[in-house]
Amino acid sequence: MTSPGPFDAGPSLPEPLPDSPFPLFAAWFDEARERMDSPNPDAMTLATVGPGGQPSARVVLCKGLDIEAGTVDFYTNLRSRKGREIEGNPLSALCFHWDTVEQQVRLEGRLSRVSDAEADAYFATRAWQSRIGAWASEQSEPLQSREALLKQAMEQILELDLDIAAAVRGDPVDIPRPPHWGGYRMTADRVELWIGGAGRMHDRAVWERVVSCESGDGGWLAQRLQP
């Protein structure tokens, strides 16, 4: 056995690597949520690709993780720049970074829409202002002024006949999900788990699988990568 040397301190990935990356990913995610030292542990960078091949990236919140299926969900305006890009090209990438624990998770795969029932259920959990915002904002479109947006929101309150006094009191109010708002689910076919190490001797490994409609998931193949 080689001696540990000066670089080997600190946490590392299991040896041998587990068959699937998702249980470990989910455990890291739970830990990030429990530690409270990261204000937005659910935040992940989503990269999509436009019609000319130009990638674009922005942060969205992870709102679902299925360990068995190897999927990750997020919600957005379907007519936004990202929504339009996804409709044109469902291949995308996601990246989580939990700074305080020096962990990164990268995922690549194909996006599909979550069901209307799932989108309705999640939409109903959002604060009333966020639900009004989903109606009022034509996400990614040009805006004349800040005031114009607030006016759009007030107009939506009137149009939806919202009982604003009840909403402000915190009583439940019925605001339907806009048809242009929904969720996407990434079925990952490439996942990389990364742990920062002393002297840039990071520990990283990648899991890849073939997912097809006909034969389903063929299982993960794992490999450590040089940092």
Ligand X SMILES: Cc1cc2nc3c(=O)[nH]c(=O)nc-3n(C[C@H](O)[C@H](O)[C@H](O)COP(=O)(O)O)c2cc1C
Report in angstroms how near the CB of residue 180 gets to ligand X at its nearest. Answer: 12
Q: Which is nearer to ligand X, 44 or 162 (CB)?
A: 44
Amino acid at site 89: N
Q: How far apart are CA 115 and CA 58, in angstroms?
A: 23
Amino acid at 208: E
Other residues' Cβ atoms within 10 Å of the Cβ of residue 12: 14
Residue type, 3: S
Instruction: Closer to ligand X by CB, 59 or 127: give it.
Output: 59
Q: Which of 53, 87, 43 is nearest to 184 (CA)?
A: 87
Structure-token match 């605001």, residue found: 175
Do the beta carbons of residue 119 and residue 183 sit within 8 Å? yes
Q: Which of 126/224 has CB closer to ligand X? A: 126
Determine which one of 106, 113, 169, 200 is catalytic: 200
CB of 39 to ligand X, least distance (A): 8
Distance CA 150, CA 139 (A): 14
Residue 81 known to be catalytic: no
Residue 206 half-sphere exposure toward CB, CA atoms < 13 A: 10
CB 194, min distance to ligand X, A: 21
- Where do contacts with ligand X occur on this chain (CB under 6 A)? 40, 43, 56, 58-61, 74-77, 80-82, 139-140
Nearer to ligand X, 20 or 137 (CB): 137
* Other beta carbons within 10 Å of 160: 17
Q: How far is the CB of 135 from ligand X (least distance, A)?
A: 14
CA neighbor of 211 nearest in space, from 63, 48, 69, 115:
69
Nearer to ligand X, 44 or 175 (CB): 44
Shortest Å distance, C-beta 115 to ligand X: 18
Which residues are part of the catalytic machinery? 200
